Structure 1
Amino acid sequence: MSIPFDNSYARLPERFFAPVSPTPGPDARIVRVNGALAFELGLDAEWLNGAEGLKMLSGGQVPDNATPIALAYAGHQFGNFVPKLGDGRAVLLGEVIDRHGRRRDIQLKGAGRTPFSRGGDGRAALGPVLREYVMSEAMAALGIPTTRALAAVTTGELVMRDTAIPGAMVTRVAASHVRVGTFQYFAAREDVEALHILADYVIARRYPEAANAANPYRALLDGVIAAQVELVSRWLLVGFIHGVMNTDNCSIAGETIDYGPCAFLDAYDPAAVFSSIDRMGRYAYGQQPSIAHWNLIRLAEAMLPLLGDQEDAAIEEAQQALAAFGPAFEQAYRAGLRRKLGLGDEAAGDALAAEILSAMTTNAVDFTLFFRRLSGAVGGDDGPVRSLFIDPTAYDAWAIEWRRALEAAPQDAAARRADMDAVNPAFIPRNHQIEAMINAAVDHQDFAPFETLLSVLSRPYDDQPEAARFAEPPLDHERVLATFCGT
């Protein structure tokens, strides 16, 4: 098969990237090819599953027209600026135009050392590869902007982390791999020419409407801010915690990228942290909006030379753009909560949302189960949702006011339930299920749990009675207290 690869990023100046060849594993085997995504990209899943496809997916053969490169970028990691990071274990093969006319990056993650590896081995372990595959595909099924997983392969070698564990690669598909840290990389070097080139590239590829604005670079900044507002508000509405919201993990395209120590809430808690490396709670669940804003401030700082000829004018443009984040986020998040509660009235819905979230925190209520079961209470069956509370009277008091708000906006009960179920998933990638799936694959070479989990999570908003156990929270002995990056 001849894949119509291009690599527009490789046509940028050489300081934007480093040419690099992927390093294949000694005995690569396919774990899974994402057939639906392959079709969307215009690729032949059967070919990808074959010997020639395996060579490409494992780095053993660079396809014709591909130009493998590792991208340069910087980043703030837990608030500390590192002027040179870059793709330390990822190789961008190139881009394809999908069936919808969109340009999509295809990247091998875990493909060996690059000039940006900083002493690392450039490899990926099987557990984190499977986590990224499941998490990214679950997020796509939830309707949240995300990178995707085209394939996972084992490499036939061991990689050293705490112990020797099986190596693997994931083929990642993204709208773009440009990050806030990419702009920071050139701003730190005072390379204004490169900032112009990069911004023009991003506008042409991701924000073409900005090209016709009076100030195209301000319009670009506005576009990125709007994309992050949508993304992070939707994270919170499904209980997702990214875990490492460094600026090098903040996509200019507004996609969820770099699934390291990510997790989903079980019991609702704004202070919830799972990432083993987030010891101070910088990236806690409830901190994510403020961190997104902080990251966008860093982007605006890097873009100052583009926003105006005079520094004062550029700062004013940046401040105006950034001032829109808070109100836009609150509007998106509150509207999402109202939809989850089946309410349209803004004043009543916002007050009821704040009250129930407070009660859920006090009562350690499972976030996903509460909202999914609440639709059943529309018809008067309060038992399943009420049982989630340590003190059920906290729900009872709230439910009286909730029902009054429902009555103020009459709607057929079945239609209201359907609307609520369409935004309140029954199934999320629960942490204990992810860990069990990884353990089965790593310890026993058993990929059946991986396949089963993917199947269930592909229809998160559907009732699947046969998969009821995947909707349940962990038992006490199953609780996952920490998640790990994998590097």
Structure 2
Amino acid sequence: MPLGFRFDNSYARLPERFFEPCLPTPVAAPRLVRVNAALADTLGLDAAALAGPEGVAVLAGNRVPEGAAPIALAYAGHQFGQFVPRLGDGRAVLLGEVVGRDGLRRDIQLKGSGPTPFSRRGDGRAALGPVLREYLVSEAMAALGLPTTRALAAVTTGEVVQREEARPGGVLTRVAASHLRVGTFQFFAAQGDVEGVRTLADYAIARHYPELAGAEHPYRALLEAVVARQADLVARWLLIGFVHGVMNTDNTAISGETIDFGPCAFMEAYDPGTVFSSIDYAGRYSYGNQPRVAQWNLARLAETLLPLLAAEEEPAVAMAQEVLAGFGPRFEAAYGGGLARKIGLGTAREGDGPLVQDLLRRMAENGADFTLLFRSLGDAAMEPEAAGARALFADPAAFDGWAEGWRRRLAEEPGGAEASRAAMLRVNPAVIPRNHLVEAAIDAAVERQDFTSFEALLDALSRPFDHRPGLERFTLPAKPEERVLQTFCGT
């Protein structure tokens, strides 16, 4: 049965120094965990065929589909601030690109498919746990409406990988607008390969920003566009309590998608200093530091583009600095506007910013759950006596003191309390991938080969803004004994 892949592999047509041809390494006994049928349909693929023996062979790397051009992409990157001039796809193979039913071009990549020329003595494999984490969190991000890579499928390999201990292996089929990163530009810039940077920039414009092709200064316009998308993306991360955990430049996508879900997690009690990653000892990638890091990463992109911005260094640097200065206002507008909507404000008034910042301060002081608090404001808007929101504060009077001014401000909104409540429910999710639920689903799958919890959580995450009776357990924070305070990279 044909699988439906209609490849058109534009990146593989770039000069050979952009990648290394590389076949995935077959595995012993692949078994399907899940195929994302809705995404497969969008891509013009046959989900039933993908779930069959021939499809599973492709998803595991045991068979290369017709028309694929398997390659491992070259890139560099700053990892926790330290530059590494050669990283590349060390455990992933890009099978190729397909143009979906919606007309959009997307990469199809196998992650965990064996060693590549960039593996640096690694095994190129992925443990099943990180594969399931990326599947759950990337699909949750998509359902929440954020730009993100997607999970097309997950398989087990029938083999073990050695990390801290032997773990069952898995392969994730990842779908992305592309795998171009800030680190891809850094790879060529570090070698003084200006023509490589130019070729990559032209490719990025053609693939992601075609409207810029005719701009008077297309490379400046490219930098402006990437800055804008990253500012918007990180603002949206903060608005849902997301902590990426490893915001290296090689994990900063030129497309503006969220990419790589290693030690990521969702904050429960609001605290800007929240860190989950076991290797982020200094809090570089903490929740509240993500905007600053994003701007830092974008400055590294700007450095690679300097030779394209102007013939002389001084005007090139001035142009780059001017573009980078736009990150702050763009982020603040996206973040501030999003916070206002989270508390039911659809029109702008003087004092809205201090009002919402006061709420965040009181939440931090009282250990209020970020997701539950904003979700409960809808009921609090309708019924001043509703106990849900105030019960989330260690000192409920702290909420009462804020809510009095908030309700006065809500009264100025058109449509009344019911309209405000409906607006808040549209932007404040009830369900997020809470860390303890993700870990419980992974543990059941890895330790007992039981994917029931994985499927149930995935279903709950697919409709995060809906109230669904019977699924209340997916909306609740962890009990003290269930808390997951550290997350780990898959490598």
TM-score class, shorter-chain normalisation, is over 0.9
Rounded to whole Å, the distance in 2 between the matches of 1:113 and 1:365 is 45
Deviations along 1:53-85, whole A, 9 cap, x unmatched?
A: 111101011111100000000000000000000
Contact 1:250–1:295, Cα closer than 8 Å, also in 2: yes
Tell me the residue number matched to 1:156.
158
CA shift, 1:24, in A, is 1.7
Alignment of 1:165-184 (within 5 A): 165-184=167-186
Tell me the residue number matched to 2:200.
198
Tell me the residue number matched to 1:358.
361
Tell me the residue number matched to 1:467.
471
User: Which letter does structure 1 place at the counterpart of 2:486?
Assistant: A
Contact 2:139–2:462, Cα closer than 8 Å, also in 1: yes
Alignment of 1:210-221 (within 5 A): 210-221=212-223
User: SS state of the match for residue 171, structure 1?
Assistant: strand
User: Which letter does structure 2 place at the counterpart of 1:154?
Assistant: T
Rounded to whole Å, the distance in 1 between the matches of 2:91 and 2:386 is 50
Tell me the residue number matched to 1:13.
15
User: SS state of the match for residue 384, structure 1?
Assistant: coil
Are 1:390 and 2:388 counterparts?
Answer: no
Tell me the residue number matched to 1:375.
378
Q: Find the partner of 2:287 among 282, 285, 288.
A: 285
User: SS state of the match for residue 226, structure 1?
Assistant: helix
User: Which letter does structure 1 place at the counterpart of 2:357?
Assistant: A
Alignment of 1:57-136 (within 5 A): 57-136=59-138
CA shift, 1:440, in A, is 0.2
State the identity %.
63
User: Which letter does structure 2 place at the counterpart of 1:141?
Assistant: A
Q: Find the partner of 2:447 among 443, 447, 456.
A: 443
User: Which letter does structure 2 place at the counterpart of 1:442?
Assistant: V
Rounded to whole Å, the distance in 1 between the matches of 2:118 and 2:317 is 32
Q: Find the partner of 2:459 among 446, 455, 472.
A: 455
Rounded to whole Å, the distance in 2 between the matches of 1:458 and 1:251 is 24
User: SS state of the match for residue 139, structure 1?
Assistant: helix
Contact 2:33–2:156, Cα closer than 8 Å, also in 1: yes
User: Which letter does structure 1 place at the counterpart of 2:182?
Assistant: V
User: SS state of the match for residue 118, structure 1?
Assistant: coil
Structure 1 regions of 5+ residues with no counterpart?
none
User: Which letter does structure 2 place at the counterpart of 1:369?
Assistant: L
Alignment of 1:318-357 (within 5 A): 318-343=320-345, 344-357=347-360
CA shift, 1:309, in A, is 1.2
Deviations along 1:410-439, whole A, 9 cap, x unmatched?
A: 423222111100000000000000000000
Rounded to whole Å, the distance in 2 between the matches of 1:442 and 1:346 is 51
CA shift, 1:3, in A, is 1.7
CA shift, 1:6, in A, is 1.8
RMSD, aligned CA? 0.7
Q: What count of residue pairs does the alignment treat as equivalent? A: 487
Deviations along 1:362-403, whole A, 9 cap, x unmatched?
A: 001000000000110111243110000001111111001001
User: Which letter does structure 2 place at the counterpart of 1:95?
Assistant: E
Rounded to whole Å, the distance in 2 between the matches of 1:20 and 1:6 is 17
Tell me the residue number matched to 1:25.
27
CA shift, 1:457, in A, is 0.3
User: SS state of the match for residue 159, structure 1?
Assistant: strand
Q: Find the partner of 1:40 among 35, 39, 42.
A: 42
Contact 1:232–1:289, Cα closer than 8 Å, also in 2: yes
Rounded to whole Å, the distance in 2 between the matches of 1:449 and 1:306 is 51
Rounded to whole Å, the distance in 2 between the matches of 1:97 and 1:22 is 22
Once the two structures are overlaid, the 10-residue window that deviates more, 135-144 or 308-317, is: 308-317
Rounded to whole Å, the distance in 1 between the matches of 2:105 and 2:313 is 35
User: SS state of the match for residue 413, structure 1?
Assistant: helix
Contact 2:27–2:158, Cα closer than 8 Å, also in 1: yes
User: SS state of the match for residue 21, structure 1?
Assistant: coil
Contact 1:276–1:483, Cα closer than 8 Å, also in 2: yes
Rounded to whole Å, the distance in 2 between the matches of 1:12 and 1:453 is 41
Are 1:407 and 2:447 counterparts?
Answer: no
Deviations along 1:208-227, whole A, 9 cap, x unmatched?
A: 11111110000000110011
User: Which letter does structure 2 place at the counterpart of 1:360?
Assistant: M
Rounded to whole Å, the distance in 2 between the matches of 1:210 and 1:191 is 23
Deviations along 1:65-114, whole A, 9 cap, x unmatched?
A: 10000000000000000000000000000000011111000000000000
Once the two structures are overlaid, the 10-residue window that deviates more, 31-40 or 302-311, is: 302-311
Tell me the residue number matched to 1:271.
273
Rounded to whole Å, the distance in 2 between the matches of 1:162 and 1:383 is 45
Contact 2:411–2:417, Cα closer than 8 Å, also in 1: no
Tell me the residue number matched to 1:52.
54
Q: TM-score, normalised by structure 1?
A: 0.99
Rounded to whole Å, the distance in 2 between the matches of 1:359 and 1:154 is 45
Contact 1:345–1:409, Cα closer than 8 Å, also in 2: no
